[in-house]
Amino acid sequence: RGSQKKSRITFMTKTINQIQDEIIKEFELFDNWEDRYEHLINLGQELPPLPKKLKTEDTLVPGCQSKVWLHISSQNATLHLQGQSDALITSGLLALILRIFNNQPPKEIQNAELYFIDRIKLAEHLSQTRANGLYSIIQRIKDYTIKC
């Protein structure tokens, strides 16, 4: 008789820095900002739609030129993020931030330095209002972690 082994697969969540490094490598694949913007738009279009019941005044992020809804909850010592925007590039920015912070412990989020923004030169290729919106999204998430 053959012996059966039980699979001991464990799923590790990538760290915030590992995810940032992946994003940097992704953006390095593109030669110009036109292609990078297209990639951002595609990322935004891949976001699952936010349920209508979660699009409230409480989930609306202030400081964004376009409308951005961000629903944050915590479970099993990690944050769970859902979001949506009514603007294409902002949706892409939101997708990047959700990718980095979703399923991460609040303490890790509080201490995170988002170096990918400088490394891919994102801020210098955004309008001032979009850059402000990006930082408003990040701040909303970091503010939530203080409550956890």
3-class SS letters over 63-120: CCCCCEEEEEEEECCEEEEEEEECCHHHHHHHHHHHHHHCCCCHHHHHHCCCCHHHHC
Give catalytic residue positions: 64
